[in-house]
Amino acid sequence: MRIGELGRAAGVDGETIRYYEKAGLLPPPARALNGYRAYGAAHLERLAFIRHCRALDVPLAEIRRLLDFVDRPDADCGDINRLIEAQLARVRARLKSMRALEKQLAALRSRCEAGHVAAECGILHELVAAAHGEACACHASAPDSAAGGREAKRR
């Protein structure tokens, strides 16, 4: 099948499929005489796997590692446990900071009644005051803000 068909079957945009190919997640398919990519059932399966992992918010680099296990079924899979564990830890950390965030925002929301002018806006006042560190719970537990990644690469 061609890229559009594959995309519809897996619920993925064609450009994204080409991106996965470039990123080394999908093997380059055969080409028809006109140069069009020609996919088979195996590609659909692999693509569905990738999408499912992405739905679990697993980064592409880890999906690549998972696919390695799929490709080498006799490898030891102890790492898979660790990988899932790490992903779970990431998600839980993010959840925790987001719950704190929600509280902050919910508290803010009720501080401004309609019809005001910015100078008297409770929300704005609260934000400015909080920025000074008064009564501010969220500086302590800020959201992870990109959370690591990328140490010691390049060059």
- Residue from 23, 32, 142, 147 binding a copy of itself (CB under 8 A): 142
List, in order, residues 6 or more apart from 52 with CB less than 8 Å away: none
- Residue 125 partner contact from DNA, a copy of itself, none using kind-dependent CB cut-offs of 5 to 8 Å: none
Whether the CB-CB separation of 31 and 38 falls below 8 Å is answered with: yes
Q: Should residue 73 be labelled a site residue for DNA when binding is judged by CB under 7 A?
A: no
**Nearest-5° angle of CA 128, CA 134, CA 135?**
110
Considering only residues 95 through 134, tell me which ones interact with a copy of itself, judged by CB under 8 A.
95, 98-99, 101-102, 104-106, 108-109, 112, 114-119, 121, 123-124, 127-128, 130-132
Which single residue is written with the structure tokens 């704190």? 100
Burial class (CB in 10 A: 0-12, 13-18, 19+), 22: exposed
Of 48, 147, 148, 150, the residue at the interface with a copy of itself (CB under 8 A) is 48
The answer to whether the CB of 20 falls within 8 A of the CB of 50 is: yes
Instruction: For residue 149, state whether it binds DNA (rule: CB under 7 A).
Output: yes
Find the binder of DNA among 11, 35, 73, 115 (CB under 7 A). 35
Say which entry of DNA, a copy of itself, none residue 49 contacts (CB below 5 to 8 A, set by partner kind). a copy of itself
C-alpha torsion angle, residues 93, 78, 46, 60 (rounded to 10)? 40
Binding site residues, DNA, CB under 7 A? 2-5, 7, 13-16, 18-19, 32-37, 54, 59-61, 145-146, 149-151, 153-155
